[in-house]
Amino acid sequence: MVLVMSEEVREAMSAGRPVVALESTIIAHGLPRPDNLRVGRELEDTVRREGAVPATVAVLDGRPRIGLTKDELERVAGEDGIRKLSHRDLPLAVATGASGATTVSATARLAALAGIRVFATGGLGGVHRQWTLTQDESADLGLLARTRITVVCAGVKSVLDVPATLERLETLGVSVAGYRTNRFPGFYLSDSGFPVDWRLDGPEQVAAVMRAQDALGGQESALLVANPVPPKQQLDPGLHARVLAEALDACAREGVTGQAVTPFLLGYLVRHTEGASLRANLAAVRGNVRLAARIALAWAGK
């Protein structure tokens, strides 16, 4: 087996106990140092407090890891040159012995390979604004169209073209539901301004949808549970709109492209909102991790 599972994850999996996969790109490239290490640990502890086992995913020295030790998490958070790995990068990283943090697409792929069904992140990747010029669409979408996993997220990142991303999710056949809301969440914002067709109101109901996916068969697609950041903890919408417009300008002006676009925009927002975007991002991720643990418990029948 090419995967290396931590002892904690291996034991939980073999006992049928609830496990939640966590991505590592948010730690290595989505959050500023040194806060990122503390957040990585805190998210793992949140999963444990809810009664599930965290499986933070990354690739170290060419070995895909499902669940990290303390030292391994430190490497992901602090190592210079740690790469950002999308699912297409996995064979290259494995064969060349590279180390990298995994995006939603790579984490979902490895988690599914390990038999983990529930996964928490902040905001998904999607269709970037200016898609007609750049064709920049995150690999997250295509991968989730063919991976049977439940992803708890605060919608898609608000730096993206949200309505275009919702259309793509529909075309690709990815099931999407709001968690206790009929509005699609907007990552830093509780409401993206767009509706969502389905609403789920509890972990048991989410688990029932997962069972229905399996019973119906067909395309091995994901279920997105879109869980909004609480309105009191969201980024001020006016500030968000203003700073995001500046960030998009700066991104175009500086010629940032490819994998660097998302970290550039998120970093710009952190610096130009005096950390308010970071606080909203963290509030969203914390809520998602907690909900994912509860869904994993319901799924495991605990």
What are the residue numbers of the active site?
A: 23, 157
Which residue in 123, 155, 186, 203 binds ligand PSU (CB under 6 A)?
A: 123
DSSP state of 124: B
Give the residue closest to Mn ion by C-beta: 136
Which amino acid, residue 291?
L
Count the Cβ atoms, other than its own, within 10 Å of residue 11.
12
Question: Cβ(178)–Cβ(185) under 8 Å?
Answer: yes
Asked if 234 is part of the footprint of ligand PSU (rule: CB under 6 A), the reply reads no
Q: Which of residues 252-271 bind ligand PSU (CB under 6 A)?
A: 259, 262, 266
Question: Nearest approach, Cβ of 156 to ligand PSU (angstroms)?
Answer: 9
Q: Which residues pair with 101 in a beta bridge?
A: 58, 84
Rounded-to-integer distance, Cα 106 and Cα 122, Å: 15
Asked if 26 is part of the footprint of ligand PSU (rule: CB under 6 A), the reply reads yes
Question: Nearest approach, Cβ of 139 to ligand PSU (angstroms)?
Answer: 6
Question: Which residue stretch of 23-31, 63-71, 192-200, 209-217 sits at the interface with ligand PSU (rule: CB under 6 A)?
Answer: 23-31
Which residue in 103, 158, 192, 213 binds ligand PSU (CB under 6 A)?
A: 103
Asked if 122 is part of the footprint of ligand PSU (rule: CB under 6 A), the reply reads yes
Question: Nearest approach, Cβ of 168 to ligand PSU (angstroms)?
Answer: 13
Nearest CB to ligand PSU, comparing residues 114 and 265: 265
Q: Which residues pair with 4 in a beta bridge?
A: 65
Nearest CB to Mn ion, comparing residues 89 and 136: 136
Question: Cβ(228)–Cβ(154) under 8 Å?
Answer: yes
As separate numbers, helices (DSSP H) first and strands (DSSP E) second, the chain gives 13, 13
Check the CA dihedral 243-273-158-145 and report its sign.
positive
Which residue in 13, 76, 90, 104 binds ligand PSU (CB under 6 A)?
A: 104
Asked if 140 is part of the footprint of ligand PSU (rule: CB under 6 A), the reply reads yes
Count the Cβ atoms, other than its own, within 10 Å of residue 51.
14
Asked if 56 is part of the footprint of ligand PSU (rule: CB under 6 A), the reply reads no
User: Which of helix, strand or coil describes residue 109?
Assistant: helix
Give contact residues for Mn ion (rule: CB under 5 A): 136
Question: Nearest approach, Cβ of 261 to Mn ion (angstroms)?
Answer: 6
Question: Measuring CA to CA, how many Å separate 267 from each of 128, 158, 247?
Answer: 16, 13, 9
Count the Cβ atoms, other than its own, within 10 Å of residue 130.
13
From the list Mn ion, ligand PSU, none, partner contacted by residue 103 (C-beta under 5 to 8 A by kind): ligand PSU
Question: Nearest approach, Cβ of 263 to ligand PSU (angstroms)?
Answer: 7
- Provide CB contacts within 8 A for 40, sequence distance 6+: 24, 27, 56, 73, 76, 77
- Summarize as ranges the residues that interact with ligand PSU (CB under 6 A): 23, 25-26, 29-30, 103-104, 121-123, 125, 138-140, 259, 262, 266, 281, 285
